[in-house]
Amino acid sequence: MSNFQLTLPGHYFTSESVFRDELEHIFYERWICVGRAEQIEKAGQYFLVEIGDESVIVLRDQASVARAFYNVCRHRGTRLCEAEHGQLSHTIQCPYHAWTYSLDGGLVGAPDMHEVPEFNKAHFPLNAVALEIWQGFLFLNLARQPQPFAEAFAPVLNRFNAWQMPTLRRAKQIEYNVKANWKLIAENYNECYHCPLVHPALNKLSNYRSGADIFTEGPIIGGYMNFTQGHATLSLSGHALAAPVGEVMGDDLNRVYYFALFPNLLLSLHPDYVMFHTLWPQAPGRTRILCEWLFDPAAMAKPDFDDRDAVEFWDMTNQQDWHACEISQLGVRSRGYIPGPYYSVQESLLAEFDRQVLTALGHPLPN
């Protein structure tokens, strides 16, 4: 693969029309990570997902099946749920005309419609959205005929089994609102060329030239970096916060893995915990980011468990990244910005990420 592709032209980061095209052809057509299965562990638990202009209800039904539906009543289109998350009883009721749905999406009540002979409740279920659970993560796809999940994620379906991520639980979540295009944030994640200057603490624990790429082509890219001698994880102290999760052993005890699953999941696997970011584009120059830390629940139950060593380390590192992305956003808006070269070997994954964006949009690929 050539490392001499140019960066994207400025309008890819600033144009409202490009942003709308990305919503339509990427975020409405690809598998989007929306959270963790633990958010809907009990029947009736739900949360809302806002993807561009769309609102989706993700819930657990009475038979313990995870489901997703457009947050739209089949009567006259009213939003069904307004609270971001909550506990439903056995039904979802429209707040406008009281049409009522079971948690599997079927219409079970429609006031006065019994007076209409041709009305059939079976013809008006909630509009379902494709939902899959992988490694404890919830993924949605709004496409009418989505690519099968197992096909889209074939390279990594069983790649991370050692971490036993379905058993891990969230210890902390931090929300960031960054004044930068979502692609700048994804590109920043996929290279450590900036690490010596922007992240001196991170570079001390894990040198930016260590490790190797594993996936270099396609919608899943990434690899690993090694810890420097004397350090066991990425934290303020460099000390592990808990025993290795799952069945992590061997070389994986001395590595942190970074994988970007196009378009919105950034997955960071440490020996003792897992961190992940989900990206939520809000506007051409604005992105909402959720960063979450997962640990073994047995470790979290111990009286001396304290996640701050890792959380504070990554909160510091995140904010360093967000600042770098924000000043990049300011730069690419300028008429003085001219696409520059991805010359460094540290930037080869960025060229592939850009190719994925251009392919999804149907735009010409670089030579």
- Predicted structure pTM score: 0.96
Binned at pLDDT 50, 70 and 90, residue 343 comes out as confident
- Domain spans in the chain, listed from the N-terminal domain onward: 32-146, 161-361
| Separation in Å, CA 358 to CA 26, 46, 150, 353 | 10, 35, 23, 9
Least confident of 45-54, 225-234, 358-367: 358-367
Binned at pLDDT 50, 70 and 90, residue 164 comes out as very high
Q: Give pLDDT, residue 1.
A: 39
pLDDT in tens, 165-191: 999 999 999 999 999 999 999 999 999
Whether the pLDDT of residue 51 is over 50: the answer is: yes
Least confident of 113-117, 161-165, 330-334: 113-117
Whether the pLDDT of residue 3 is over 50: the answer is: no
Across residues 223-228, what is the average pLDDT? 97
Name the CATH topology of 161-361.
Naphthalene 1,2-dioxygenase Alpha Subunit; Chain A, domain 1 (3.90.380)
Whose tokens are 């056995």? That residue is 90
Helix axes 182-189, 308-332, angle to 10 degrees: 130
Q: Give pLDDT, residue 237.
A: 97
Residue 169 to residue 230: CA distance in whole angstroms? 28
Alpha helices in the chain (DSSP H): 11-14, 16-22, 149-152, 182-189, 195-198, 200-205, 297-300, 308-332, 348-361
- Percent of the chain at pLDDT > 90 equals 96
pLDDT in tens, 251-264: 999 999 999 999 99
Is CATH 3.40.50.920 correct for 32-146?
Answer: no
Q: Give pLDDT, residue 262.
A: 98
Across residues 20-43, what is the average pLDDT? 98
